[in-house]
Amino acid sequence: AQSVTQLGSHVSVSEGALVLLRCNYSSSVPPYLFWYVQYPNQGLQLLLKYTSAATLVKGINGFEAEFKKSETSFHLTKPSAHMSDAAEYFCAVRTGTASKLTFGTGTRLQVTL
Amino acid sequence: EAQVTQNPRYLITVTGKKLTVTCSQNMNHEYMSWYRQDPGLGLRQIYYSMNVEVTDKGDVPEGYKVSRKEKRNFPLILESPSPNQTSLYFCASSSLDSTSGNTIYFGEGSWLTVV
């Protein structure tokens, strides 16, 4: 069985500060990992994905995530937060093309002036 | 343009009145699924389909039905909606071809309120 844990349902950072959203996964086989973003009253947008190539994955809007097998983690980072980054972020895991996508419970990012 | 299209986007209905949320994709994907999103719970899978006429339960299937008569369509049916089915629903599709990079495409979501 696969699962995802997102630490912190709410994270608040100042504009210009580092963004760090935490995600840990559990999987019995090599996973595919994803980060999605949901802006208020909108659908899901793929930020980035890990599919067993490079462990450091760069996504859109300046976000990146690093796959660390030893820590079973896939934390999302951005060096400098912008007000437009305020949204809810979901980490998700999939163990193959024929398996479902299992989501974490989400982290709401607030960016303050 | 690759698209997953859901309708309706917004719906308020009454308890017990059957409704269908349609989902259509234009990418010839084999795999389609439905999720519901609730505060603090993230997205949970309701049903999924591996291909035409092949469907199976996800994590929260109670109160829902689906069908897959055509490859492009995967409607979600609420035979007798109840207030606990008030939620945001997402349809998703993906290819089963491993070279596709495992990307799952999502529709824009359907806000359903049952009163």
The 10s digit of each residue's pLDDT in B12-34 is 999 999 999 999 999 999 999 99
Could you check whether the bond before residue A40 is cis, i.e. omega within 30 degrees of 0? Answer: no
In chain B, DSSP assigns E strands to 4-7, 10-13, 19-25, 31-38, 42-51, 54-57, 65-66, 76-78, 87-94, 105-106, 110-114
Closest C-alpha among A46, A36, A20, A43 to residue A109: A20
Q: How many C-beta neighbours within 10 Å does residue A53 have? A: 9
The 10s digit of each residue's pLDDT in A40-94 is 888 899 999 998 778 999 999 999 999 999 999 999 999 999 999 999 999 999 8
Mutate to test the interface with A, among B104, B106, B111 (most CBs of A within 10 A): B104
**What band does B115 get if pLDDT is binned at 50, 70 and 90?**
very high
Instruction: Mark which residues 46-65 of A lie under 8 Å from B by CB.
Output: 46, 49, 51
The 10s digit of each residue's pLDDT in B45-103 is 999 999 999 999 999 999 999 999 999 999 999 999 999 999 999 999 988 876 666 68
Least CA distance to B56: which residue of chain A? A100
Whole-angstrom distance, CA of residue B35 vs CA of residue B110: 10
Which letter, b or e, does each residue of B83-92 get, where b requires 16 or more Cβ atoms within 10 Å of its Cβ? eebbbbbbbb
B2 touches chain A (CB under 8 A): no
Q: Which residues of A touch B104 (CB under 8 A)?
A: 34, 94, 101
For the cut 70, the answer to whether the pLDDT of residue A96 exceeds it is no
For the cut 70, the answer to whether the pLDDT of residue A97 exceeds it is no
Do B106 and A103 lie within an 8 Å CB cutoff? no
The 10s digit of each residue's pLDDT in A2-27 is 899 999 999 999 999 999 999 999 98
pLDDT of residue B29: 92
Of residues B42, B45, B58, nearest to A90 (C-beta): B42
Do A103 and B98 lie within an 8 Å CB cutoff? no
Q: Are B75 and B66 in contact (CB under 8 A)?
A: yes
* A23-46: average pLDDT: 90
